[in-house]
Amino acid sequence: MIAKFFDRRKGDLSHYYTNLYHIIKFIDNSEIENKYQYTSFIRAQLSAQETYFLFYNCLSPMGKNKFKPLVEKYALLKNLDFALITNKEHVKAYQPSAFQSNT
């Protein structure tokens, strides 16, 4: 189901989430201190809909292996509106750290 959703919309969404992934990966691989602070700046820019799509992007084959661990590490779903999630069982696919502040 998730793969079909993103397959139908990949022309609109793939470049956006690919760029977002590379920004987070750049921060993660850098030698800067307090990486969480920098990723929180990015998280603050995400709308409710963008956070919702990030949630499902990371459950899809496109984001599951590389992006999802970074989302969990930096709590990029901290501001997720759970009312938008259609199946609450999907939340269990994430580590609790994806929704919680590390500071």
What is the tens place of the pLDDT at every residue in 29-44?
999 999 999 999 999 9
Residue ranges covered by each domain of the chain = 2-99
Under a CB-based contact definition with an 8 Å cutoff, are residues 48 and 81 in contact? yes
Rounded mean pLDDT, 67-79: 97
Q: How far apart are CA 96 and CA 75, in angstroms?
A: 9
pTM of the predicted protein model: 0.87
